[in-house]
């Protein structure tokens, strides 16, 4: 996984000026690299300690689905407003370039007690913190956060009191 960074493109000033967007979609264009990445992520203790995973919209769904399949763990989704039916729990958060909120179907959290949070990238930690709050505020435990890339200089991991693991630091 030491050459993983060659599959990641950086787009300056996207989605707004001053943001250096990391595009991880190139990883999926090499099936062997994607497979190795998913196997490595599934071997992480954060996944092993969880009964289920929560994947964050949208790119977190890609990695979360594959991890769910490979590890035989159920996957719950955290989605942006207006995307999920049924009774929802919702939390607002700030991100590097704006504000948003995420929702989880309330019924989905009733089945399990421990959850791993999966996303593609950890930047400031706002999105993952939002999901962690949704889980914890409903009496459940977060085993940790697992991402493909962590932007170290933004110090997002400092927001968490649970394990944070990333395959690649940038």
The 10 Å Cβ neighbour count of residue 39 is 13
As a whole number of angstroms, the longest Cα–Cα distance in the chain is 43
Q: Do the domain assignments include residue 67?
A: yes
- Per-residue pLDDT at 97: 64
What local confidence, expressed as pLDDT, does residue 96 receive?
Answer: 64
Average pLDDT over residues 96-111: 89
pLDDT score at 94: 79
117-147 confidence digits (pLDDT tens): 999 999 999 999 999 999 999 999 999 999 9
Instruction: Classify residue 13: in a domain, yes or no.
Output: no
What is residue 170's predicted lDDT score, i.e. its pLDDT? 87
Compute the distance between CA of residue 103 and CA of residue 149 in angstroms, rounded to an integer: 23
Q: Is residue 127 part of a domain?
A: yes
Whether the per-residue pLDDT at 61 is higher than 70: the answer is: yes
Would the pLDDT of 95 be above 80?
Answer: no
Q: Give the Cα separation of 125 and 158 in Å (integer).
A: 8
In a domain, 15, yes or no: no
Q: What domain count does the chain have?
A: 1
CATH number at 67 reads 3.40.50.2020
Total-model pTM: 0.95
pLDDT for res 57: 95
Containing domain of residue 118, as a range? 45-169
Domain contains 6: no
Q: Which residues are CB-contacts of 6 (< 8 A; sequence separation ≥ 6)?
A: none
Residue 28 domain flag: no
Half-sphere exposure (Cβ direction) of 13: Cα atoms closer than 13 Å: 1
Residue at 106 is within a domain: yes
Q: Across the chain, where does the E strand assignment appear?
A: 9-12, 20-23, 52-56, 75-78, 88-95, 98-105, 114-122, 141-150, 164-169
Give a yes or no: residue 66 inside a domain: yes
- Which pLDDT score is estimated for 15? 86
């Amino acid at each position: 996984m030491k050459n993983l960074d060659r599959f990641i493109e950086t787009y300056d000033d996207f989605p707004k000026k001053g943001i250096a967007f990391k595009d991880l979609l190139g990883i999926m264009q090499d099936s062997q690299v994607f497979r190795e990445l998913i196997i490595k992520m599934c071997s992480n203790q954060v996944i092993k300690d969880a009964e289920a995973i929560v994947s964050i919209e949208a790119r977190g769904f890609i990695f979360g689905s594959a991890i769910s399949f490979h590890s035989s763990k159920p996957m719950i989704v955290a989605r942006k407003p207006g995307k999920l039916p049924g009774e929802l729990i919702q939390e607002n958060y700030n991100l590097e370039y704006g504000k948003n909120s995420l929702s989880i179907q309330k019924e989905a959290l009733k089945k399990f007690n421990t959850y791993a949070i999966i996303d593609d990238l950890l930047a400031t930690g706002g999105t993952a913190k939002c999901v962690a709050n949704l889980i914890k505020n409903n009496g459940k435990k977060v085993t940790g956060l697992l991402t493909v890339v962590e932007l170290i200089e933004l110090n997002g991991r400092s927001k968490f009191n649970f394990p944070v693991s990333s395959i690649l630091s940038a």
